[in-house]
Amino acid sequence: MENKAECDLEATILRKLSEPRHSHRHLISLLATYEQNGSYYLIFPWAGADLRDYWKNINPKPRHDTETIMWLAEQCLGLASGLAKIHRYQTLSSSALLQASSPGKTQTETVRTAMGPDSAPKEENMKILFGRHGDIKPTNILWFPKGPERDKEILKITDFGISRFTTVNSVSARERGRAPNSPTYRPPEWDLPHPIISTSYDIWTLGCVYLEFIAWYLGGFVYLQEFEQRRLAPDFDWVGVSCDTFFTVESRGSSAPIPKVKPAVTEVRLFQVLEI
């Protein structure tokens, strides 16, 4: 990336989530950062594909067996657990750090003092920060194949470039600073007047990924593409443009716009897909 401030922000968040106390097997770990010729780079473990590419090229026709459905369920649970780790990030309070600091102490030494000898600080020394990933989508979920370090394939959430940690759960979208990168997965509140962004933003986007995960399992990548096509409808913000969001917005006269889940999302055609 070309912007040093954006690189530093993402690296800071990733370092927080890579600490032993906060690491999670379904969140990507940062290995290193470096600068070269005015560009800034983040180094991560090597993945086999992102989830979209996995659905399309690695496994476009999944088996309908117990092993596959159990793997799918385990990964969905793991991704939700990893996201929960972001949503409630526990860190040392400013008062605890101030009390532990003294002249000549480095920042690392101050943190170790505040943490205590067993690295388990007292509850009163901690504060909760509300984190938001802000761009959960299949291309921001990495697939790692089986290998010497793991006996099963695993999915990990990545790309924390627009993530934020705040002391309050809900903030105005204007405070957010940047629009979502992925119109497809944006939640209904984004299209309402004065949108408020909270952890529920990520929960909606992860739910959309779950639906696509199920569509892939039921009919492979072909059925997933069909699901996308059925969701196409005129976009509320862009006249003449269709979008495959999971909701639409209705406007009734002068009243406030009303978001509704698209019929294509609620209609289920399991018997046709599975040819039962």
Instruction: Tell me the pTM.
Output: 0.76
What is the C-alpha end-to-end distance of the chain, expressed in Å?
A: 49
C-alpha of 40 from chain center? 22
Helix (H, G, I), strand (E, B) or coil at 222: helix
pLDDT tens, 158-189? 887 655 555 445 444 544 444 455 789 988 88
Task: Give the domain ranges of the chain.
Answer: 4-274
pLDDT tens, 105-146? 554 444 445 445 555 555 555 455 667 788 899 999 999 998
The pLDDT confidence band at residue 47, using thresholds 50, 70 and 90, is very high
What span, in angstroms and rounded, lies between the C-alpha atoms of 66 and 63?
A: 9
Question: Widest CA span of the chain, in angstroms?
Answer: 73
Which architecture does CATH list for 4-274? Answer: Orthogonal Bundle (1.10)
